[in-house]
Amino acid sequence: MKVELITWEDLENFKKELLQEIRRNTAHPRKPGQEPKEWLKSYEVRKLLGISAGTLQNLRLNETLPYTKIGGLMYYRYEDIRKLMDGVDRS
C-alpha cells in the first residue's frame, strides 16, 4: 500500500485552485457587462457555490454566511459570498 502525505500547504493550494475553478465556471454575473445582483436567493447561492441545501443551512447555522430573512425567503449579500469564497474573515 502506497502512502502519500498531504500538508496544510497542499490543502491551501488545492482550495485556491478549486475556488479559481468555481469562479471561472460561475455564471455570475449572468451577462457580460452586467453587474452582479447585490442580494441573492438561496437557490442562486447554492448554484453559485455548487453546494446542497443542507450545506447552505449549515453555513447559516454556524454563522459562516450571514443572511436576511424576508417573509419565508432567505437572501444573501453577494459581497459576503465573495468574502466566503476568498476566505476573508468577516470580523
Please report the pLDDT score of residue 42 as a whole number: 94
pLDDT at 53 over 90: yes
Nearest to 26 by CA among 13, 40, 9, 12: 40
In the predicted model, is pLDDT for residue 89 greater than 60?
no
Helices and strands, number each (H, E), in the chain: 4, 3
What are the cell numbers at 9?
Answer: 500547504
Q: In the predicted model, what is the mean pLDDT of the chain?
A: 84
DSSP category for residue 31 = S
Question: What percent of the chain stands above pLDDT 70?
Answer: 81
Any residues with CB less than 8 A from the CB of 22 and at least 6 apart, and which?
Answer: 49, 50, 85
C-beta of residue 64 within 8 angstroms of C-beta of residue 84:
yes
Contacts 24+ apart (CB under 8 A), 20-29: 22/49, 22/50, 22/85, 23/85, 28/78
